[in-house]
Every structure is written in C-alpha cells, then in structure tokens.
Amino acid sequence: MTGSRFFDGASGQVHHRRWPCADPVAGLVFLHGMGQHTGHYHRFARALGADGIEMWALDHVGHGLSEGEPGEPGPIDDLATNALLLADIAEGDRPGLPLAIMGHSLGAATAVAAVNRAPLRFAAVVLCGLPRAAAANPDAVAGVRSPVLVVHGVDDRRAPIDGARAWSAAVPGAELREYEDAGHDLLHEPVHRRVTSDVAAFIRSSVQA
C-alpha cells in the first residue's frame, strides 16, 4: 500500500509517498517535473516494485499537496535540499538499502543539483528529459562516481535532445538512451514500458555491480 506523509522541507511542509515492495534490492528517490505531482507516478512505482525496486517520491514546492505558491517551485537549491531530506527518510525506512535518484525535467535539474552536493550518496543516477539549462553544465556532476543514465525522447521539443547528447558525452561514464518517436514526458508516452524496463535494469545492475 502506498504511504503518504509530510516532512519539514527547505521552505515548508513537503508531501511525499512511498510504494513499499517485498524484499527490495534497491530504492529510488524520484523527483517529478513542473506541473506534476507524485500521484502521476503510481504506474511507474508499481512496475519498479515488481522488479524489486522500492520508490519514494515527493511533491515539489507549490505542487501536489506540498506547501508553496501553486506552480512556483522556487530555487533549485531548495528543491535539492528537499530531495536529500527525502533520501534521509528512505534510508530510515530501509536501512542499508542502496539508493538511486531519478528526476524528470525540473526533477532532473534538481537531481543534478542534489548529486553535485552529495556525489557519493546515490548508487545510480537517472535523468529523464534533462532541461537545456541543466545540460549546459556538465561540470556540476564532474565528481560523481556513480553510474549515470540519461533517457531522452528524440522528438522532445521542450528540451531538445542535442543538450542531453552534449551533456552525456561530457560526463565520464554517462550512458544516453534515445527513444524514437517520443517527446518530453517519457513515462507517460507509448514508450513508457520500455523506458521503465530500461531504468529498472540500469538500477539493478548498478547496485549489484
């Protein structure tokens, strides 16, 4: 059963959910995109759970049930602080379980900021629909030693794939997977099953390496 709770974040109460699974091999801290909330990701979380990956996700500031002005998430640094606080909660829920972090769009930019501040915190990093602004600074994660997977739609008009290609090429060891006939929101497009399978396989291989 999904657990729904709150914690004191960088700028108010932050709502988060947990999708427990039996005997997980890894955990995932998930960060959604602008205009979304955790309720959009039940399908993704259930699919990961069937593959042994337990998921925690939060509503960004001003989104879902979190406090804040609607649609105004505030500074990325505050969102990164919230992401790391959620990682603390996940570690408390499942002591010793390897954790990965994944973000979509705004969440991908937030994940980049979080791993830049804590480069050894996560066993794997997954970025979906990486925004152009975040893709402009590969040095932000230059110290990260965890495996990095970038998943991106070839037809993404909101965050054109050229930025993700350049960023992935500049980050040592980063892997880019491109999805034909797919746009920005990969986990809600016809390719979602393939993307989910690729993400699950990447996280499992990263924590079992």
Mean pLDDT of all residues in 160-180: 94
Over residues 17-46, mean pLDDT: 97
Mean pLDDT for the stretch of residues 1-8: 82
Q: Is the pLDDT of residue 29 over 90?
A: yes
Which whole number is the average pLDDT over 149-158? Answer: 97
Of 9-18, 37-46, 164-173, which gets the smallest average pLDDT?
A: 164-173
Residue 204 C-beta-side C-alpha neighbours within 13 Å: 14
Q: What is the Cα–Cα distance from 85 to 14, expressed in whole angstroms?
A: 10
Q: Which pLDDT belongs to residue 42?
A: 97
Q: Label residue 2 by pLDDT band (50, 70, 90).
A: low
The 10s digit of each residue's pLDDT in 80-106 is 999 999 999 999 999 999 999 999 999
- Output the CA torsion sign for 103, 108, 114, 116: positive
Q: Give me the mean pLDDT over the 10-38 stretch.
A: 97
- Residue 55 amino acid letter: M
Contact status, residue 26 vs residue 204, Cβ threshold 8 Å = yes
Whether the CB-CB separation of 128 and 187 falls below 8 Å is answered with yes
Q: For the chain, give the mean pLDDT.
A: 95
Taking each continuous run of H as one helix and of E as one strand, the counts in the chain are 6, 8
pTM above 0.85, yes or no: yes
Among 165, 148, 156, residue whose Cα is nearest residue 199: 148
Lowest mean pLDDT among 61-75, 93-107, 127-141, 163-177: 127-141
What average pLDDT does range 138-151 have in this prediction?
88
Using a pLDDT cut of 70, give the percent of the chain over it: 99
Taken in order of first residue, the domains within the chain and their CATH numbers are: 3-208 (3.40.50.1820)
Residue 1 has pLDDT above 70, yes or no: no
